[in-house]
A and B are shown apart, each in its own frame.
Chain A
Amino acid sequence: MTSDSATADAKRLHPIRASGTLALILLFTFIGAFIAFAFALAEGEDWTLISVLGAGAALMFLLWLRENHMAMSAANAVRPSRTEMRALRMMPVQVVLVLLYVVAVQVSVNYAPGLSGFVKGALQSLPIGLLAGWLVAFVYIIIESDEMVRRMQTIATAMGAGATLVAATGWGLVAMHAGLPDFASVFLFPAFAVFYTLASVWVTRRFA
């Protein structure tokens, strides 16, 4: 099969397709926005925005899953390496954990106060356990990747964490002098998700 006919076959097999990178960027951006607004509105009753962002995050996740399935099942598909398979298996786990984290926060804020004792404590501490699970999956992907991908992810993590620290500290300095509201620490995780995604794009273009 020539290269041109292989490309034509690939286009015929999946005519509507987002690039893998674009799908991943949209996914993480929606998740970041979803978490941020979920916290901002946790004590309010405005479920419309949370529902729209949550639905957007779920749709982006399905788009990413569809993109990967089409890429792997196309006639001209390259079989992913063992390290890539490990990362591909853990990414849906990460997304599910994040979505469960937001649900758990909503439950703990809206329903746990009505409970008491061990159940109340367990519900209100559940969100951080889910976030810790996300972190374990994140570190697993980095450790199990091949050396170049691991290097790229480490650089992106350092850039994302650095940007998050600079943004949070910068806002803290502004808030301190201008009397504006502080940057709540619960927003650090969604901020890191967005900065890490942007850093990943830059690092991928730098090395690939």
Chain B
Amino acid sequence: MNNHLKTLRAERGWSQAHLADLLDVSRQTIISIENGKYDPSLPLAFRIARVFEKPIEAIFDEEDAA
């Protein structure tokens, strides 16, 4: 799944550590989500949407079918 986490984080001037703190996850989790190596669970996706004050669909995209 694609995501715009890195862009949204940069717009707000937040570090990965700060975002991890807001979401109560490890910085490693934020890095893996931004690199597309890990898709968050639904509760975490909702927390991310709440932190950025955007709907989930504005942050996460399904990958295009091949």
Contact among B17, B26, B31 for A146, CB-based, below 8 A: B26
Interface residues on B, range: 10 to 19
Q: Given A79-B17, A207-B37, A208-B37, are A147 and B24 also a contact pair (CB < 8 Å)? A: no
Which residues in chain B, 20-46, are within 8 Å of chain A measured between CB atoms? 20-21, 24-29, 31-33, 37-38, 40-41, 44
Contact among B17, B38, B40 for A207, CB-based, below 8 A: B38
Taking CB as reference atom, which chain B residue is nearest A82?
B24
Query: Once the chains bind, are B40 and A147 in contact (CB under 8 Å)?
Result: yes
- Asked if A84 lies at the interface with its beta carbon under 8 angstroms from chain B, I say yes
Taking CB as reference atom, which chain A residue is nearest B44?
A147
Which residues in chain A, 141-159, are within 8 Å of chain B measured between CB atoms? 145-149, 151
Closest CB in chain B relative to A208 CB, distance in Å? 6
Q: Given A146-B26, A148-B26, A149-B26, are A81 and B41 also a contact pair (CB < 8 Å)? A: no
Closest CB in chain B relative to A48 CB, distance in Å? 41
- Asked if A78 lies at the interface with its beta carbon under 8 angstroms from chain B, I say yes
- Asked if A83 lies at the interface with its beta carbon under 8 angstroms from chain B, I say yes
Q: Number of contacting residues on A, CB 8 A?
A: 16
Main SS class of interface, A: helix
Query: Once the chains bind, are A147 and B17 in contact (CB under 8 Å)?
Result: no
Contact among A83, A145, A207 for B32, CB-based, below 8 A: A207
Which residues in chain B, 28-66, are within 8 Å of chain A measured between CB atoms? 28-29, 31-33, 37-38, 40-41, 44
Query: Once the chains bind, are A81 and B26 in contact (CB under 8 Å)?
Result: yes
Query: Once the chains bind, are A81 and B32 in contact (CB under 8 Å)?
Result: no
Query: Once the chains bind, are A148 and B21 in contact (CB under 8 Å)?
Result: no
Alpha-carbon distance between A207 and B26 when the two chains are bound, in angstroms: 13
Closest CB in chain A relative to B34 CB, distance in Å? 12
Query: Once the chains bind, are A148 and B27 in contact (CB under 8 Å)?
Result: no
Q: Given A147-B41, A208-B31, are A83 and B21 also a contact pair (CB < 8 Å)? A: no
Q: What are the 3 tightest A-B residue pairs by CB atom distance, in nearest-first order?
A: A148-B29, A146-B25, A78-B17
Residue numbers of B with Cβ under 8 A of A are 17, 20-21, 24-29, 31-33, 37-38, 40-41, 44
Residue numbers of A with Cβ under 8 A of B are 78-84, 145-149, 151, 206-208
Q: List 8 A-B contacts (CB under 8 A).
A: A81-B26, A148-B26, A148-B29, A148-B32, A148-B38, A149-B29, A151-B38, A208-B31
**Assuming A147-B41, A207-B38, what are 13 further A-B pairs, CB within 8 angstroms?**
A78-B17, A79-B17, A81-B26, A81-B27, A84-B26, A146-B25, A147-B25, A147-B44, A148-B25, A148-B29, A206-B37, A207-B37, A208-B31
